[in-house]
Amino acid sequence: MRKILVTGADGFIGSHLTETLVQQGHKVTAFVQYNSFNSWGWLDHSSNEIRRDLNVFSADIRDPAAVRKAMEGVDVVYHLASLIAIPYSYIAPHSYVETNVNGTLNVVQAAKDLGTSRVVHTSTSEVYGTAKFVPITEDHPLQGQSPYSASKIGADQIAMSFFNAFETPVSIVRPFNTYGPRQSARAIIPTIISQIASGKRTLHLGDLTPTRDFNFVFDTVNGFIAVGESANTVGEVVNVGTGFEISIGDLVKLIIDVMGEEVEIVQDSDRIRPAGSEVFRLCGCAKKAKALTGWEPKFAGIEGLRSGIQETANWFTDPANLAMYKADVYNV
């Protein structure tokens, strides 16, 4: 049993990671965004058994004193707290620097001062920009094609600088596009599924030509844990991807087939990124993850994606879950 802090535990991936760590028997503290409603985000929907064994710390990742307090006595930090919506980063870039870059600085500074055994920092495949070669290895150039991706490049560099300068035991997980139950409808798969599940037969979508490498959330969570448990990953950046790419257009066809509905697709200009900001191709190489940790995706290839889409659609079509989404509103 280890004492573990998960920042961003109230979010999509963070809540799944937190639940898995609790189920494994670790003593877990969930760092959630402070709010006056005392909401724990998606952890409010966790089982009674999970919440009974969970310590919740409500604060703001931008506050260094709060971060330090949360990290006292902790062995491992999984740092997922971040602003992640690309369209919103066009509107509020300062917030992304404050949260993603300064928030990460707060975590690694506290880890250095407190002697934390491991920090696992969350990156994103968006830092690569449009692929210059595929599959994308960890040596691929970094390209800030949106304020979001630029802020994550900055956060990655801050995290790694503490390893280089102070030998702070930092590992960086770089997941490709994660999907699954609980994901925000700002992402493409929940956007499609929630619209169909709510009865819409005309889908409003953006550009259908980009390709993505989609990871089912349980694979992503297992990748995080594998990196956090391996001594081989200290000071390393590790991709978590499937190596299978699919265009958004073909993804739509797959989801329509899985859900058994006939729909019309309408391109919505509001959902299209500026031309220079769109990432047109992402396909990851996860050989390093396997070599260092033994991790491999279970939901791989077209059949793995189909299985993951089916599980995701099953969750979204539950009326209680679908009611938490506004399928008729573009979620920035």
- Condensed to tens digits (0 to 9), the pLDDT of residues 60-112 reads 999 999 999 999 999 999 999 999 999 999 999 999 999 999 999 999 999 99
Residues 119, 31 contacting (CB under 8 angstroms):
no
Residue 236 lies in a domain: yes
CATH number of the CATH domain containing 237: 3.40.50.720
Instruction: Please tell me the predicted confidence (pLDDT) of residue 332.
Output: 66
Task: Point out which residues pair with 30 in neighbouring strands.
Answer: 6, 56
Task: Point out which residues pair with 205 in neighbouring strands.
Answer: 267
Residues 83, 100 contacting (CB under 8 angstroms):
yes
- pLDDT per residue as tens digits for the range 204-247: 888 889 999 999 999 999 999 999 999 999 999 999 999 999 99
- Give the distance from CA 128 to its chain's centroid: 15
Determine the average pLDDT of the residues in 282-302.
98
Query: 246-247 and 211-212 as β-strands: parallel, antiparallel, unpaired?
Result: antiparallel
Residue 287 lies in a domain: yes
Residue 175 lies in a domain: yes
Residue 134 lies in a domain: yes
Instruction: Please tell me the predicted confidence (pLDDT) of residue 204.
Output: 83
Token pair, residue 299, equals 């939901």
| Separation of alpha carbons 58 and 39, rounded Å | 9
DSSP three-state, residue 75: coil
Residue 328 lies in a domain: no
How much of the chain is helix, strand and coil, in % rounded to 5? Answer: 45, 15, 35
Residue 221 lies in a domain: yes
**Residue 329 in this model has a pLDDT that exceeds 90:** no
| Separation of alpha carbons 68 and 61, rounded Å | 10
DSSP H or E segment with residue 204: strand 202-205
| Separation of alpha carbons 244 and 126, rounded Å | 16
The model's confidence at residue 148, banded by pLDDT at 50, 70 and 90, is: very high
Residues 206, 266 contacting (CB under 8 angstroms):
no
Token pair, residue 42, equals 């998606």
DSSP H or E segment with residue 238: strand 237-240
Instruction: Please tell me the predicted confidence (pLDDT) of residue 331.
Output: 72
What is the DSSP annotation of 51-115? HHTEEEEEE-TT-HHHHHHHHTT-SEEEE------HHHHHH-HHHHIIIIIIHHHHHHHHHHHHT
Query: For residue 56, what are the CA distances in angstroms to 29, 39, 52, 108, 157?
Result: 6, 11, 10, 20, 29
Backbone angles phi, psi at 8, to 5 degrees: 70, 25
Residue 293 lies in a domain: yes
Instruction: Please tell me the predicted confidence (pLDDT) of residue 77.
Output: 98
| Structural domains counted in the chain | 1
DSSP H or E segment with residue 189: helix 188-197
User: The domain containing residue 163 runs over which residues?
Assistant: 3-322
**Residue 183 in this model has a pLDDT that exceeds 70:** yes
| CB count in 10 Å sphere of residue 27 | 17
Residue 295 lies in a domain: yes
- Give the distance from CA 152 to its chain's centroid: 12
| Separation of alpha carbons 77 and 92, rounded Å | 27
